[in-house]
Amino acid sequence: MQTLEYAKRSGHTVTFLWSPHYDFTAPAATREHARRIADHCIEVSDIHDPQATRAALHAADADQADAVLSTLAFCTPAAADLAELIKARGTSVAGVTNAGDKGRCREVLRRAGIASLGFAVVTTEADALRAAATIGYPVIVKPALGIAKSVTSVAWCADDIRAHFATAQATLDGLAEGITARLDERYIVEELAIGTLYSVEVAADGRHTVPLVAVRRKVSVNNPVIELGCTVPSGLSAHDEADLGAYAADVCRALGLNLGIFHVEVMHTATGFRLIEANPRITGGALPDTINTVADLDVFAILVDLFADRPMPLRPLRLSGAASHSFLAAARPARLPEHLSPDWFTRFEAVVHSGWAHVGPGDMVQQMKGNFDSFGMIRTIAAAPALAETACAEVKVAIESLIGIPLLADQTQSVPVRVDQLGPRSGR
């Protein structure tokens, strides 16, 4: 939405391509708003068929696009393909393919001599067991094409790998078609990196590659796969943050991510920074707004400008303070008490910078297993990152006690997730 709005504000003609397969990524009112503000709005039956999309654009007399972009992980490859086909500015197809395929990504890093993690790409349980034995436990098993946390497992022993393969298909069958459409049968088995998780938004305008901002990521205390929020600035020393930015920019250059803003997730381990994942698109969820709350420039504006071949900042964003957000996510399925006031969240709105909750008395909440299972978000601001995190943690505790539902805990006190804090089979 912010990208569309900024593009309109800066005088562009905007064509909004949409597919019902991705309706789950935004509420109906937001989708409706997007359709209203765009100059052209085209429903595409198969977003992953660029020829069909080009035909649809042509039919709507909207095929004169200067640039094609998507802020959605699921649609970034489609945007790159379409840009190439209609000769518009877009992220390089090779860059998107290298980044989106976790096995290929690690291979590129290996060839470029960039610090990475032990890995193997497998399709069968037997191969996964062999790979894990070679890499050494603990390992993590993830779909090679990503974005399916519920089919991601941390494995501490061979039985965990067997359990992963025993349940993976049933889990996949239960996921939205928009999520599974781009998965294949490959998994990556990867060394489990232990440390503190950060992410960097790296901007590239076709000439320069610039780390814009680094944030610290909150993950679930007993399942590091579940991400529960972020804090900006990262809390790293200036020296370490510069190292992290340089590392993330090197990763983007090696992958061929030439145009766009890229969301690079990196673990700070005892032996240095190690890539977790390079996403060929800007960060999603609550993080862009958390960054924008304290940054001197708007990340969505930078995104549109660089696709439009307008100048982008050649320096990191300047921050006027700290901001932290946490998702409200249930540790197990539960029902909110009937006696809860329907406007229970109002009192928290008064103490946070911003936030939302879309559950009321008597509603069921699901256990958080992936990126789309939270039922609310709170964001706090303060002078320093630790203060913003503490404030966020305190509000979360107060919410938990009011609604009587155990929330997934994160390690907000700047304590990295340690091996001994993780239980066996914590990946599922």
Ligand X SMILES: Nc1ncnc2c1ncn2[C@@H]1O[C@H](COP(=O)(O)OP(=O)(O)OP(=O)(O)O)[C@@H](O)[C@H]1O
Q: Which helix (H) or strand (E) holds 50?
A: helix 50-59
227 binds, among ligand X, Mg ion, none (CB under 5 to 8 A by kind): ligand X
140 binds, among ligand X, Mg ion, none (CB under 5 to 8 A by kind): ligand X
CB of 10 to ligand X, least distance (A): 29
193 binds, among Mg ion, ligand X, none (CB under 5 to 8 A by kind): ligand X
Question: For the purposes of burial, counting CB atoms within 10 Å of the CB of 92, is it exposed (0-12), middle (13-18) or buried (19 or more)?
Answer: buried
Tokens 């303070």 locate to: 321
Please say which residue, 142 or 353, places its beta carbon nearer to ligand X.
142
57 binds, among Mg ion, ligand X, none (CB under 5 to 8 A by kind): none
Q: Give the Cα separation of 51 and 110 in Å (integer).
A: 34
Please say which residue, 96 or 117, places its beta carbon nearer to ligand X.
117
CB of 202 to ligand X, least distance (A): 15
How many Cα atoms sit within 13 Å of 293 on the Cβ side? 25
- Tell me the per-residue interface mask from 270 to 299 with Mg ion, x by CB under 5 A, - otherwise: -------x----------------------
Is 84 a binding residue for Mg ion by CB under 5 A? The answer is no
Is 5 a binding residue for Mg ion by CB under 5 A? The answer is no
160 binds, among Mg ion, ligand X, none (CB under 5 to 8 A by kind): none
* Dihedral sign, Cα of residue 127, residue 129, residue 133, residue 139: positive
CB of 262 to ligand X, least distance (A): 12
Question: For the purposes of burial, counting CB atoms within 10 Å of the CB of 136, is it exposed (0-12), middle (13-18) or buried (19 or more)?
Answer: exposed
Which amino acid does the sequence have at 299? V
CB of 36 to ligand X, least distance (A): 29
Start-end of H helices in 235-298:
238-255, 287-294
- Tell me the per-residue interface mask from 252 to 271 with Mg ion, x by CB under 5 A, - otherwise: -------------x------
The two three-digit tokens of residue 411, written as one number: 């390690």
Please say which residue, 226 or 403, places its beta carbon nearer to Mg ion.
226
Q: Which long-range contacts (CB under 8 A, 24 or more apart) does 67-71 make?
A: 67/307, 67/308, 67/309, 69/3, 69/260, 69/303, 69/307, 70/281, 71/3, 71/281, 71/282, 71/284, 71/303
Q: Give the Cα separation of 356 and 271 in Å (integer).
A: 39
Is 72 a binding residue for Mg ion by CB under 5 A? The answer is no
Q: Which residues bind ligand X (CB under 6 A)?
A: 73, 117, 140, 142, 146-149, 152, 190-193, 197, 219, 224-225, 227, 265, 267, 276-277, 279, 371
Binding site for Mg ion (CB under 5 A): 265, 277
